[in-house]
Structure 1
Amino acid sequence: MPTCIVCLETLKNPAALPCGHVFCYDCVIRLVRSVNPYTPNHFCPTCKQPYTILNVDPNLIPHHLRHHVTPAVRKLNLEYAVPLPMKTSATNAECAHLLAENASLKNCCVVWRKRAAVHATATMAFVGLARLARDYGMKMKKERDELEEKYNELKRLYDEKT
């Protein structure tokens, strides 16, 4: 059975991106909504090919061209047969092994998502600190330039008096 690489489950309500990769429709929508700040441009989780979620008003498209315009995220109707389970203990053991491996991979995904969030938070903190340092440096440079102007003016006045 086909599986979604986002949720690692059997495809539920499949949807295809323009590049041809298929995911659960809810997974695609969740990925689109998770991007902050909102943007209509996104990338396929598999091949990183860009796609847009903007929809064109059909009334603006000439009637003879409407069948050529399709949405970026297209719902699919996939029919696939569920394989009959074999009644051997080797198959059951292999299935149990694969289920355990799948659960382990899901746990790893959760851990890596948390690590990515921590890394992003730390990176954003360093970026904020760098901005503060840059702003403070620019303020100090401006202050130095003003004091240097005052010094030069006072030096000029002193030289004129002497």
Structure 2
Amino acid sequence: MNRTHLLTLAATLLTTSTLLAAPASDNDKAWQAKVSQGGMYEVEASKLATQKATAQDVKDLAVMEVHDHELVGAELKRLSLAAGLPFPSTLNPEFQQRLAKLKSNPAGPAFDAAYLEDMKQIHDKDEKLFAQESNDGSPAFKPFAAQTDRIVKRHIGALHAV
């Protein structure tokens, strides 16, 4: 998905989500807590990969991850606040530990492999979470989850192509 498509997606999400703003359910709250942390982690891990990865395709993937997840995270934050949910500004201990583990890998092929494996794991979990929310979520989050699920699937494809 190129930049024009992402901007169109962001505009569509903004319009759709504004029209469908509704209170968040307990399931929405649990989902938002998981995916907001995962998204922030993916941004931080990918920023690290732009510096430590040695393979150009891994660096390119990391740049895409930062770009896409910053856009998705900004929209999730906007939707969350509109639905009365707090939005975290820092990683929780689980993801801080995960980031520390990734940082401990030296630059080079070992880092590249660890980053790719970590991104595959988190995207597989994310895809299930976004797919479920796109089916079962409240109107406040359902359209966003459906659009984002397509982005996550695209990322999974890109990860398996590296």
* Length-normalised TM-score, structure 2: 0.21
Determine which structure has the larger strand proportion and give its number: 1
Determine which structure has the larger helix proportion and give its number: 2
**Pair member with larger Rg:** 1
